[in-house]
Amino acid sequence: MPGCAFARRAAVLVPGDPRGFCAVPSLSPFSLSFFLRRSGFRSGRLFLPRELHLAGATVGLALAATGPGALLGSVLAARLPGRFGHGVVLVSAAVLGNGALLCVPALHGSSAATVLALLAANFVFGTFSQLVNVTVMSVRQAVTPDGMQGRAAATIAFVGMGFTPLGSLLGGFLAQEWGPRAGLLVTAAGMMLSPLLMAASPLARLGRVLPCPAGGTAADGTT
């Protein structure tokens, strides 16, 4: 299977080399995040109209708030890692972005305050999830040898995106068995495992200057 072959060949970067570990930087957090994000998306599609009784236009407006947030996150990704360090930014942004979703199951009713809180939560999630995405991609591209760039990207896409259908099934199952609110709460809480995995990995120790592949040149020109 092509994806499995990519995973095996990219995995040669991992053993015994922290730069290699970061070359497939967040296979576990990345795949877990995609899996639970898709699960939460399914539960959320039921939660907003059924539990909060929001109209379709209001649901669309709330979900659209992630767009401006993602734009801000892209801007921040150009500045914050160089100032505070890539590891600190990755873990902190994952905590803040995923943590914002924990507020959503606590909302009740369809008042203006509820809609504003939902807009704020989605904006914060969009901002910090995009900050994580851009920073992770920067790390992966910086530490992966040129000849392995395609394999590393394919491995992350294969492992990460491959779990999304299962996440959809889980979201539907939880919403059916426990209700949309409980299903959304479980998936939002589960997404907090992603920053924990990052914090326990070499990603958390990355500084302002990224390491380079063996024989390469770091971002500051050193080898």
Helix 149-162 to helix 2-10 angle (10° resolution) is 120
Q: How far apart are CA 30 and CA 60, in angstroms?
A: 26
Q: Is the pTM of this model over 0.75?
A: yes
Helical spans, DSSP H, in the chain: 2-10, 18-23, 27-46, 56-64, 66-77, 80-84, 86-101, 112-143, 149-162, 164-178, 180-190, 193-199
Instruction: Give the distance from CA 97 to its chain's centroid.
Output: 8
* 130, 77 Cβ separation under 8 angstroms: yes
Joined together, the tokens standing for residue 25 give 């930087």
Give me the amino acid identity at 178. Answer: W
Give me the amino acid identity at 170. Answer: L
Report pLDDT for 223.
44
- pLDDT, mean of each 10-residue run, the chain (223 residues): 47 44 48 61 78 90 92 96 93 92 90 94 93 88 81 76 76 84 86 86 84 56 45
* 47, 180 Cβ separation under 8 angstroms: yes
